[in-house]
Structure 1
Amino acid sequence: MAMLGLLACTPDPEGRIGGDGVAIDGVPVTPPMGWNSWNTFGCNITEQIVREQADALVVTGLRDAGYRYVVVDDCWAAPERADDGSLQADPRRFPSGMAALGQYLHDRGLKFGLYAGADDKTCTQFLGTYPGATGSRGHEGRDAQTFADWQVDYLKYDWCSSNADHDDQVSAFTAMRDAIRDTGRPMVYSINPNSGVAESVPGAEFDWGGVATMTRVTNDITPVWSTNADDSGAQGVIDIVDAVAPLASRVGPSAFNDPDMLVVGVDGNPGLTLAQQRTQMSMWAMMAAPLIAGNDLTRMSTQTLDLLGNRAVIVIDQDDRVSAGAPVDDDAEIWARAIGDKGLVVSLTNRADHPRAMSVSLGSLGLVGDATVSAVDAWTGRRYQAANGELTVDVAVNDTVLLQIA
């Protein structure tokens, strides 16, 4: 069996911002995995909740499966800076302080993540739902050093402004990148240039790979299959898959497209079926995307744990080649991703409203000869043998079969 040239990705219209090098040295080359507080707890986050979620990562085995970053999103900070200009924790909800919280996480083999605003306000402050103006614009050096002193391992940095000036965004995000570099502490640097910017997704329009470890390339995700381009500004799972498809060429070691967090196990209206949640896990793995859970880990079902903890899917996401997949022959339902030295993974997603058999030709995958080609489904372990130059599988409604070709 021989594998020929496989995928052609849409080139970026602009050069890579920040140059070709890694944005932050010393961070993992594979996509970050962990948990973020926002989707379930929003501004109600507390020190106790974070500790409970961290403990759940350990007890459930998700930490050992790779979910190590515990990211405290917006609303952790006091509405005012300290007398010396430093950020400080809200004393009521985080009475032990952020350094102590970081130590708690590190003692359990986890990593510590925090949120900050790239303009003068965080997102909730920009929207008027949280008091103060404690964004990091103009405070980059002081705040980065504060994060380093607290032993932070991951910084989520949100734009949170109606100002869409590209040069201004580049200046703000680069300033924090440089401040993190100056601390000497490796931190995953996760940026979202899209927050507050109407009718535009700057994270997708430009390649920020030289500025940040991971860049949000979509609007916010919501736990539905599709929003059908409604006025909410949010996107469903399949909307995001389509939005990220042309951007595969940007992905490489320590540089990732961020299609937003996992909504597996997150309550929603109407929410996602089991098949649709399996599709999200499958397609995030095909994108070589960060796997950041957002559900309540202390209350999740066995079904949710099995989805998040599937080792075969995680192995695909975390493959050391760090090469994102893309549609095969412009077919949005069939993607392929190169893994390892010569490996290949193919996803088949049924977008129809009825179960159906789906096929992919070996020729379209650049495979020569069909006598020995077989594939194993990462979800079920079932093996499929190619016949008549094709691999054919039965796929349920909105489900995805994830085939690793051997």
Structure 2
Amino acid sequence: MTLRKTATPPMGWNSWDSYGTTVTEAEVLANAEFMAEHLLPHGWDTIVVDIDWADPTARSHGYNETAPLIIDGFGRLQPDPARFPSSADGGGFAPLAARLHALGLKLGIHVMRGIPRVAVAADVPIAGTDATASQIADPANVCEWNPHYLGLDHAHPGAQAYYDSCVAQYAEWGVDFLKADDMLWPYQVPEIEAYSRAVQRADRDIALSLSPGRDLSAAHLDHLRAHATMWRVCDDVWDRWDDIEPNFARLARWAPLGGPEGWPDADMLPLGRIGLRAERGEPREGALTLAERRALVTLWVMARSPLMIGGDLPTSAPETIALFTNDEVLEILRDSAGNRELLRERDLVVWTAARGDTRWTAVFNTGDEAREVPFDTRSLGLGPAPARVVDVWSGSDVSVEPVHVQSDAARGVAPGSSVVRLALEPHGCVLLRA
């Protein structure tokens, strides 16, 4: 088969922001059923079980140093049957995948690079080879933040065989999406190539997402496009404006490079009911204001970043869920081009995108104070005198005024133009269509 490329950025839900390492099958299914009923009609179709689904001792707020990960006789991870009862008796994630597929959804799972320490300690055989786990492990290349794995020695053919056997099992289960972690910081060329090769050899089309993206350089663009469906361009994003604001600059660099060959990923949307049993914080409806939540979704959409919701869908507030069901906003994600930053001046950032004669412009206020600003419509990429300008989030028309030569010229608005006057909340935005 092939590494699955997608015509538009993937859209789904991920368990990490809500449940950390501890999500259960029942919780996954509750979110899947909510997605199928409320979000699938708007394009959301992927459910991702994040890290440590094989750890029977998983806990909130971190990792267990010597976790007894459940593996099979070839060192391949198996779901914890206490949390995923349908996986008992060797079922793996196949029963869960079947449930999701019946709902019209895709199943994604988190994987780590390398091989579990418990497999190396037991020195299990590698499927299809004469090698054992201790012979293919590389103790010098370990993850800095997760203690459960050793790296692989890719000079040994058994390393590739191990990844091939793991991904073949995921394909047999019916997995559609793999989030492969500890790949990009530092940039792990042999690991990326070996894992991508395993995905391409599997008997199923599978999308491959690479994480995390701290300090990721576009110098790797060709390699990323060749070996992944999407890749993170930042570290984890949580519900703090200080986490979101740096992505304006990152996405300004990366958005023009995204497309069906591969999607730069600005990380999950930490929106909705998060922190239930997660790495950070206690249960909450996110610390971002509604204006900040809308700005977050707008930036990700204008940059055509993949969208993965982090909040527990059934218990999230209706006003948060409404951010995920505005088809006029999501149309930009699916069907726009030329997405780029147009202007950055102190606390004002302007993005633009287009489709045919339609123009979208997002104006962001990254500052801490509200402000009202008149804009020359030409400076926003909307043309000198657009017939109609719409606020995409509300669907209401925005007043377009002819220029007042003396007063507006003093503000830098050129004669012969028209003006829109935008009220911007702190850390807020306005999304326009002309």
Question: What's the TM-score bracket when you normalise by the shorter of the two chains?
Answer: 0.7 to 0.9
Q: Distance in 2 between matches of 1:313 and 1:367?
A: 17
CA distance in 1, matches of 2:203, 2:346: 44
CA positional deviation for 1:331: 6.8
Residues in 2 aligned to 1:310 and 1:366: alpha-carbon distance in whole angstroms: 23
Change beyond 3 A, Cα 1:266–1:333: farther
Per-residue deviation, 1:330: 6.2
Q: Greater CA deviation, 248-257 or 355-364? A: 355-364
Q: Which residue of 2 aligns with 1:305?
A: 321
Q: Structure 1 residues 299, 305: closer, same or farther in 2, change over 3 A?
A: same
Percent identity among equivalent residues?
A: 29
In the alignment, which residue of structure 2 is the partner of 1:197? Answer: none
Aligned residue-pair number: 359
Change over 3 Å in CA distance of 1:205–1:92 after alignment to 2? farther
Deviations 1:243-290 (A, max 9, x none): 222222211125111010001224477811111011111111111111
Q: Is the 8 A contact 1:327 1:333 kept in 2?
A: no
User: 1:295, CA displacement in angstroms?
Assistant: 0.4
Residue 315 (structure 1) aligned with residue 305 (structure 2): no
After superposition, the Cα gap between the structure-2 partners of 1:143 and 1:25, relative to the gap in structure 1 and judged at 3 Å, is closer
Compared CA separation, residues 295 and 42, structure 1 to 2 (3 A): same
Q: Does 1:109 align with 2:138?
A: no
Q: CA deviation at 1:304?
A: 1.1
Deviations 1:42-93 (A, max 9, x none): 111111111111112123x112211110000101125142113433211221
Unaligned runs of 5+ in 1: 1-22, 195-199, 227-235
2:265 alignment partner AA: D
Conserved? CA contact 1:32–1:291, under 8 Å: yes
- Give the aligned partner of residue 390 of structure 2: 376
Shift of 1:332: 6.5
| Cα 1:353/1:133, change in 2 over 3 Å | closer
Q: How does 1:119-130 map to 2 (within 5 A)?
A: 119-120=114-115, 126=143
CA offsets, 1:179-223, max 9 Å, x none?
1111242222110154xxxxx523666322222111100111010
Instruction: Indicate yes or no: 2:249 matched with 1:242.
Output: yes
Secondary structure at 2:332's aligned position in 1?
helix
2:86 partner SS: coil
Unaligned runs of at least 5 residues, structure 2 = 56-68, 88-92, 118-141, 154-158, 276-280, 404-416
RMSD across aligned C-alpha pairs, in angstroms?
2.8
Q: For residues 332 and 120 of structure 1, do their structure 2 counterparts lie closer, same or farther at Cα, with a shift above 3 Å needed?
A: farther
Larger Rg: 2
Is the aligned partner of 1:361 residue 2:376? Answer: yes
- TM norm structure 1: 0.80
Give the CA deviation at 1:109.
0.9
- CA distance in 2 between counterparts of 1:52 and 1:273 reads 26
Q: 1:86 to 1:349 in 2, by over 3 A?
A: same
CA distance in 2, matches of 1:89, 1:209: 30
Counterpart position of 1:180: 199
Q: What does residue 8 of structure 2 align with?
A: 30
The residue correspondences of 1:243-282 to structure 2 (distance < 5 A) are: 243-267=250-274, 271-282=287-298
Distance 1:363 1:177 in 2: 45
Deviation (angstroms), 1:299: 0.7
1:206-221 matches, within 5 Å, as 206-207=220-221, 208-221=224-237
Aligned to 1:152: 175
Q: Give a deviation string over 1:328-358, Cα, whole Å, max 9, x none.
A: 3667733333232232211111223332223
Which has the bigger relative contact order, CA under 8 A and spacing at least 6? 1
Structure 1 residue 294: Cα displacement: 0.6
Task: Classify 1:83/1:144 alpha carbon distance in 2 versus 1 (closer, same or farther; 3 Å).
Answer: same
1:334 to 331, 349, 352: 349
Whether the aligned pair in 2 keeps the contact of 1:24 and 1:188 (CA below 8 Å) is: no
Q: Deviation per CA, 1:89-125, whole angstroms, max 9, x where unpaired?
A: 1122112121111011111111100111123459xx9
Conserved 8 A contact 2:273-2:315: no
Alpha-carbon distance in 1 for matches of 2:254, 2:184: 25
TM-score (norm 2): 0.75
CA distance in 2, matches of 1:128, 1:184: 32
Report the Cα distance in structure 1 between the residues aligned to 2:208 and 2:244, rounded to whole angstroms: 24
